[in-house]
């Protein structure tokens, strides 16, 4: 198992890519910290991991709340004594064209998708430095590489996450800490449940593989990057988009 014994914190882990990553990490032997705003989503993930024989603990965490993050980190260290991997997966969308976007829409997405990544990483980095080891994995997006109509706030946040990733790779590499980003394309997550079928079909037609990614396919990439198989991968920004941006 590629993550045997590693203590891995995953934000936004109650659904979608975060949930798939939590379950995959557990199957690979990790001790998983399931963080989310939704307690009703946290408990089933923790339970599923336990039933399968894995180790997991859940925390109600708002990534904009430094006190909640600090309490979670302290609890994890008390329980398992270390932190090996942080997956900064939590994020939201609040789309609108620039001319119609409200300041509240802009600030909310930046606070969660960008500042939240900073908050969580800041909370674990001293522990990783003390260990002389650690992995920081940041959820960016193809939107963070190329922009997207109606997503000024989201694109800014995801571009910013790439900036974090490259900066931390330079600053922390000498400390034994790797930092990488994953840029998913279209992924079949619950956020698409209310979309019209014709919209989803249009998304599929843009992808050379003619389908959306499954959350488990993104989780597989996070698993590789979190593992020692990626021991010399640092500062990478990896597109996982089925060829969408070719």
Q: What is the three-class DSSP state of 48?
A: helix
Q: Say how far apart CA 27 and CA 126 lie, in whole Å.
A: 28
- 222 classed as catalytic: no
Q: State the Cα angle at 139 between 146 and 113, rounded to 5°.
A: 85
Report DSSP state, residue 92: -
Q: Say how far apart CA 31 and CA 22 lie, in whole Å.
A: 9
Q: State the Cα angle at 207 between 206 and 211, rounded to 5°.
A: 115
CA neighbor of 162 nearest in space, from 177, 176, 148, 147:
147
Question: One of 59, 118, 146, 154 is an active-site residue; which one?
Answer: 154
* Per-residue CA distances from 77 to 3, 7, 74, 223 (Å): 18, 9, 5, 22
Q: State the Cα angle at 199 between 195 and 200, rounded to 5°.
A: 80
Output the 3-class SS for 160-171: HHHHHHHHHHHH
Q: Which residues contact 148 (CB under 8 A, 6 or more apart)?
A: 154, 155
Q: Say how far apart CA 163 and CA 158 lie, in whole Å.
A: 9
**Active site amino acids:** 154
């Amino acid at each position: 198992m590629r993550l045997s014994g590693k203590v891995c914190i995953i934000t936004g882990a109650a659904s979608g890519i975060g949930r798939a990553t939590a379950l995959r990490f557990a199957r690979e032997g990790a001790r998983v910290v399931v963080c989310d705003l939704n307690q009703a989503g946290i408990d089933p993930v923790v339970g599923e991991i336990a039933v399968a024989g894995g180790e997991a603990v859940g925390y109600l965490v708002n990534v904009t709340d430094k006190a909640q993050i600090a309490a979670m980190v302290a609890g994890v260290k008390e329980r398992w004594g270390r932190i090996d991997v942080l997956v900064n997966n939590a994020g939201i969308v609040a789309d609108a064209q620039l001319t119609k976007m409200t300041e509240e829409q802009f600030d909310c997405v930046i606070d969660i998708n960008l500042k939240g990544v900073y908050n969580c990483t800041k909370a674990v980095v001293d522990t990783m430095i003390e260990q002389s080891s650690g992995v920081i994995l940041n959820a960016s997006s193809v939107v963070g590489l190329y922009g997207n109509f109606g997503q000024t706030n989201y694109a800014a946040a995801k571009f910013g996450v790439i900036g974090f990733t490259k900066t931390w790779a330079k600053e922390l590499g000498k400390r034994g800490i790797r930092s990488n980003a994953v840029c998913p394309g279209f992924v079949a997550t619950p956020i698409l449940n209310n979309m019209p079928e014709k919209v989803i079909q249009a998304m599929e037609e843009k992808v050379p593989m003619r389908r959306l990614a499954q959350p488990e396919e993104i989780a597989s990439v996070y698993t590789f990057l979190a593992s020692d198989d990626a021991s010399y991968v640092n500062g990478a920004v990896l597109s996982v988009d089925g060829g969408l941006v070719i």
